[in-house]
Amino acid sequence: MQQKKILIVEDDDGVRSLLKLTLETGGYGVIECADGDEAAKAIPTENFDLALLDIMLPGRDGLSLLPLVRRRNLPVIFLTAKGSLSDRVSGLKMGADDYVTKPFEPLELLARVEAVLRRYSAPVEKKQEILTYGSLHLNVSAHTVSLEGQPVELTEKEFELLEFFIRHPGQAFSREQLISNVWGYDFYGGTRTVDVHVSSLRGKLGLEKDLETVYKMGYRLRSRS
C-alpha cells in the first residue's frame, strides 16, 4: 500500500517536530512548512493526502490556506489553541473536516487523521439519481447542487448532510443521530459541528424556514408534500 503523505503547516518548531514524529511513527510521510506563505507555494505543487493547518501563522493564516487545499479536493484538519472556540467554528464553517487542539495527545491525533482519511478514501456506491426539494436539485452521482438552476458550492459534509435531510423529509433527528449517520461513529468532534453545518446550509440555500430547529432535540427538514 502506498504511504499516505501529510502536509504540516505549523510555525512552532517544537510542535512541528512532535507532529512529524507522531505521524512518522504512525506510518505516514510528512511534508513540512513553517509559515503560511511557504505553505501557499507548496500546496499547489506538493503531493500529499491530508493537510494539518495551524490557524495562527506568520504570513497567511490557516483559514486563508484552506481554499487552496480544497481546490485539490483534499481533507483538512485544523490545529487550534485550547479553548479557541471561534477559530474552530470558523474553520468548520469554511469546510475543515476536523480540528485538533494544542497541546494534543499523539494517539488522538493519529486517530483523527486516520478517521478523516478513511472517510475520504472509502468507496461510495450511489445510484445515478437526482434528489429535488422545491427549486433545489442535488445530483448524487455528480456530487453537485443547484438552486433555481444556479450551482451552489458545498463542502463534502454539507452535501452529505443535505442529502440525508432530503431523503428523510419531515423527520426530526437529534444532533447525535445526525453525527452517527453523516459523520460516522468514529467522528471525534462535538455535536456543535452539526449546528455549524446546518447554519451554513440555511445561508447558502435559503433554507432558513425549511430546515427547522426542533426544540431540545435537533433539526428537521420540513416536508413539502
Nine-digit cell string for 152:
451552489
- Print burial letters for 151-185: b (CB count within 10 Å at least 16), e (below 16): ebebbebbbbbbbbbeeeeeeebebebbbeebbee
pLDDT in tens, 82-116: 555 665 566 666 678 888 888 888 998 999 899 89
CA distance 10 to 16: 6
> Which domains, ranges and CATH numbers included, belong to the chain?
5-121 (3.40.50.2300), 130-221 (1.10.10.10)
CA distance 211 to 220: 6
Look at strands 150-152 and 144-147 and give their pairing: antiparallel
Q: Is the pLDDT of residue 184 over 80?
A: no
CA distance 167 to 215: 22
What is the pTM (predicted TM-score) of this model? Answer: 0.55
| pLDDT tier, 126 (very low <50, low <70, confident <90, very high otherwise) | very low
pLDDT in tens, 15-39: 999 999 999 999 999 999 999 999 9
Whose CA is closest to 126, among 142, 112, 110, 137?
142
Q: Is the pLDDT of residue 124 over 50?
A: no
- The percent of residues in the chain predicted with pLDDT above 90, rounded, is 51
pLDDT in tens, 198-224: 999 999 999 999 999 999 889 999 997
